[in-house]
């Protein structure tokens, strides 16, 4: 064999029956995904350290809804032997566990590396060593494309829009060169590439979803991650919102129900989409600036949201909108939920959820009453 001849991926046996493993399964997207899987009759193994505020309540919610279907391993994703044991019995894996904040990665880059990259490698290698065709769907990020500083923008009203009419109409496609910025972008981007290469090199049936801004019920948004829910939570509590930059930065937002549809479709169609990455977001029809979302929240609560401004943060993109055409076609996705409808639904859930993040206070009750 010549040095230029590529190595063939080894043949893998079919995956044995077992639970569907959802790492980060008590988190925002993970709990919604686990709920849908259990409702469809699948046994679900939730792997989560329960470190983020609100995720313990999400796990309790799952256990109440699906006492016969949902089991849990309470462990850190960095515990390689525990993770390998969970992977050893799984029939499929949705890998959502991650360190998710750019700001945290700047303060603790070593932890970010261990959680996002090293743990992903350990998970992939555990599946490889099984020698079975266990599908793995990986939650990646739009941050793999860097800060997109070369995309010329014009500010029109309260939003930045690309000068190039084709980018304005379609968004950022998967053919965009990868350009990792910040430790978070590096760790998630490198993990993204490992997931794709384990399909190419070892024949694992893997796929990657590069997510834009996902929002919806069971999201306990913070200043560092989950900004749509964070804005609503602050507004319902009568508290000010901090904006980093000028608030005209644009994102395409996607309701969590549509995101779960995409994850399940990637699993269902894994033979057709294995080894591929897809941009997942609301697309141009759900592209909205931070200021526009704040305006809509003010309309929902009946009063303007108090806003404070600070400097731009490292790696922030002034514009990111997913070109969703490849994902829509390959995964057979329906049109996403319109963002104003989804925002109103999230506000309603935040107001009513007994285990949600809205603290009982006169300000919160006054703001929530405006949603009645």
Return d(Cα 62, Cα 56) in angstroms, integer: 10
> pLDDT for 187-220, tens place per residue?
999 999 999 999 999 999 999 999 999 999 999 8
Give residue 11's pLDDT: 62
CA angle in degrees (0–180, nearest 5) for 247-251-254: 130
- Return the higher-pLDDT residue of 8 and 275: 275
Return d(Cα 275, Cα 136) in angstroms, integer: 10
> pLDDT for 276-313, tens place per residue?
999 999 999 999 999 999 999 999 999 999 999 999 88
Return d(Cα 354, Cα 334) in angstroms, integer: 31
> pLDDT for 40-72, tens place per residue?
999 999 999 999 888 999 999 999 999 999 999
Give residue 366's pLDDT: 39
Residue 289 bridge partners (DSSP): 250
pLDDT surpasses 50 at 181: yes
- Give Cα 144 distance to the centre of its chain: 13
Count of beta carbons in the 10 Å neighbourhood of residue 177 = 8
Residue 93 bridge partners (DSSP): 21, 136
Q: Return mean pLDDT, the chain.
A: 91
Give residue 316's pLDDT: 82
Mean pLDDT, residues 125-142 taken together: 97
pLDDT surpasses 70 at 221: yes
Give residue 226's pLDDT: 87
> pLDDT for 257-268, tens place per residue?
999 999 999 999
Catalytic residue among 184, 194, 215, 319: 184
Give residue 222's pLDDT: 78
Contact 151, 221 (CB under 8 A): no
When pLDDT is cut at 50, 70 and 90, the band that residue 23 belongs to is very high
| Of 279, 271, 255, nearest in space to 148 by CA | 279
Give residue 53's pLDDT: 85
Domain covering 98-369: architecture:
3-Layer(aba) Sandwich (3.40)
Give residue 313's pLDDT: 82
Give residue 224's pLDDT: 72
Parse the chain into domains and list their residue ranges: 98-369
Instruction: Read off the pTM.
Output: 0.92
pLDDT surpasses 60 at 335: yes
- Give Cα 263 distance to the centre of its chain: 10
Known catalytic residue: 160? no
| Secondary structure of residue 89 in the 3-state scheme | coil
Give residue 228's pLDDT: 95
When pLDDT is cut at 50, 70 and 90, the band that residue 15 belongs to is low
> pLDDT for 138-153, tens place per residue?
999 999 999 999 999 9
pLDDT surpasses 60 at 6: no
| Secondary structure of residue 340 in the 3-state scheme | helix
């Amino acid at each position: 064999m010549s040095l230029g001849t590529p190595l063939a991926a080894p043949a893998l046996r079919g995956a044995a029956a077992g639970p569907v493993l959802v790492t980060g399964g008590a988190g925002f997207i993970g709990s919604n995904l686990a709920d849908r899987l259990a409702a469809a009759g699948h046994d679900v193994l939730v792997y989560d350290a329960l470190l983020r505020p609100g995720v313990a309540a999400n796990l309790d919610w799952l256990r109440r809804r699906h006492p016969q279907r949902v089991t849990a391993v309470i462990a850190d994703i960095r515990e390689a032997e525990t993770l390998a044991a969970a992977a050893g019995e799984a029939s499929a894996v949705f890998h959502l566990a991650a360190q998710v904040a750019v700001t945290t990665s700047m303060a603790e880059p070593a932890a970010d590396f261990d959680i996002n990259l090293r743990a992903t490698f350990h998970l992939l290698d555990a599946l490889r060593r099984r020698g079975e065709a266990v599908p793995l769907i990986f939650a990646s990020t739009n941050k793999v494309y860097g800060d997109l500083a070369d995309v010329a923008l014009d500010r029109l009203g309260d939003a930045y829009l690309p000068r190039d009419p084709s980018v304005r109409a379609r968004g950022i496609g998967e053919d965009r060169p990868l350009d990792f910025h910040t430790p978070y972008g590096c760790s998630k981007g490198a993990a993204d590439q490992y997931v794709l290469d384990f399909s190419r090199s070892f024949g694992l049936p893997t796929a990657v979803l590069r997510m834009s801004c996902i929002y919806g019920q069971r999201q306990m948004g913070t200043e560092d991650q989950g900004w749509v829910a964070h804005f609503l939570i602050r507004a319902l509590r009568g508290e000010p919102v901090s904006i980093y930059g000028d608030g005209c930065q644009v994102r395409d937002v996607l309701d969590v129900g549509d995101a779960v549809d995409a994850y399940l479709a990637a699993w269902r169609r894994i033979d057709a989409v294995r080894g591929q990455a897809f941009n997942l977001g609301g697309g141009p029809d759900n592209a909205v600036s931070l200021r526009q979302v704040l305006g809509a929240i003010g309309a929902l609560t009946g009063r303007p949201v108090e806003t404070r401004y600070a400097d731009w943060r490292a790696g922030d993109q002034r514009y990111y909108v997913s070109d969703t055409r490849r994902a829509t076609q390959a995964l057979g996705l329906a049109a996403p939920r319109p963002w104003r409808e989804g925002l109103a639904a999230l506000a309603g859930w935040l107001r009513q959820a007994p285990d949600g993040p809205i603290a009982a206070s006169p300000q919160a009750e006054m703001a929530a009453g405006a949603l009645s």
